[in-house]
Structure 1
Amino acid sequence: MSGSGYDAVVDVDDEVSASGDLGHTDLQEDLEFHNSNFSETGARKGVPGGGGGGSSSSGLPLPATASSSSGGGGGGKRFLWTLSFYAQFFDVDTSSVLSRCWAALYPRANFLDVLEGNPDLYGPFWIATTVVLILFLGGTISDYLASAEGKTFAYDFKLLSGAAGLIYGYTFVVPVALYLALRYFGSESANLLECWALYGYGNLIWIPVALIAWSPIAILNWVFVGVGFGLSVAFLLRNLYPVLSATDRQTSKVLLILVLALHFGLAIAIKVLFFAHGSPAREADGSDGDANQNQGVSQMIF
Structure 2
Amino acid sequence: MAGSGYDAVVDVDDEGDLGHTDLQEDLEFHNSNFAETAPALGRKGGASSSSGLPLPATSSSSSGGKRFLWTLSYYAQFFDVDTSSVLSRCWAALFPRANFLDVLEGNPDLYGPFWIATTVVLILFLGGTISDYRANNGGPAFAYDFGLLSGAAGLIYGYTFVVPVALYLALKYFGSESANLLECWALYGYNNLVWIPVALVSWSSISILNWVFVAVGFGLSVAFLLRNLYPVLSATDRQTSKVLLILVVALHFGLAIAIKVLFFAHGSPLKHVPAGETPPTDEKPAEMF
TM-score range, shorter chain: 0.7 to 0.9
Aligned partner (choices 78, 88, 94) of residue 77 of structure 2: 88
Contact 1:127–1:201 (8 Å) recurs in 2: yes
Aligned partner (choices 260, 272, 278) of residue 289 of structure 1: 278
Q: How far did 1:78 drift?
A: 2.1
User: 4+ residue runs of structure 1 moved beyond 3 angstroms?
Assistant: 23-28, 64-77, 279-282
Q: Match for 1:192: what amino acid? A: L
Q: 1:193 and 2:182 equivalent? A: yes
TM-aligned CA distance change 1:103 to 1:270, over 3 Å: same
Q: How far did 1:27 drift?
A: 11
Separation of aligned partners in 1, 2:63 and 2:96: 41
TM-score normalised to structure 2 length: 0.73
TM-aligned CA distance change 1:239 to 1:71, over 3 Å: closer
Q: Secondary structure at 2:172's aligned position in 1? A: helix
TM-aligned CA distance change 1:241 to 1:25, over 3 Å: closer
1:117-132 alignment, distance < 5 Å: 117-132=106-121
Q: Secondary structure at 1:109's aligned position in 2? A: coil
Superposed CA offset, 1:80-124 (max 9, x none): 111111111111111111111111111111000000000000000
Separation of aligned partners in 1, 2:207 and 2:60: 65
* 1:295 equivalent in structure 2: none
Q: Match for 1:218: what amino acid? A: S
The percent identity for this pair of structures is 82
Aligned partner (choices 257, 260, 265) of residue 271 of structure 1: 260
* 2:210 equivalent in structure 1: 221
> Which structure has the larger Rg over C-alpha atoms?
1
TM-score normalised to structure 1 length: 0.70
Greater helix share, structure number: 1
Contact 2:188–2:225 (8 Å) recurs in 1: yes
Aligned residues between the structures: 242
Superposed CA offset, 1:145-173 (max 9, x none): 00141511111100000000000000000
Aligned partner (choices 152, 163, 183) of residue 141 of structure 2: 152
Q: Match for 2:263: what amino acid? A: F
Is there any run of 5+ residues in structure 2 with no aligned partner, and where?
Answer: 1-5, 7-13, 20-43, 48-56, 280-289
TM-aligned CA distance change 1:154 to 1:96, over 3 Å: same
Contact 2:133–2:142 (8 Å) recurs in 1: yes
TM-aligned CA distance change 1:185 to 1:144, over 3 Å: same
Q: 1:172 and 2:161 equivalent? A: yes
RMSD: 3.6
Aligned partner (choices 231, 237, 244) of residue 233 of structure 2: 244
* 2:242 equivalent in structure 1: 253
Q: Match for 2:222: what amino acid? A: V
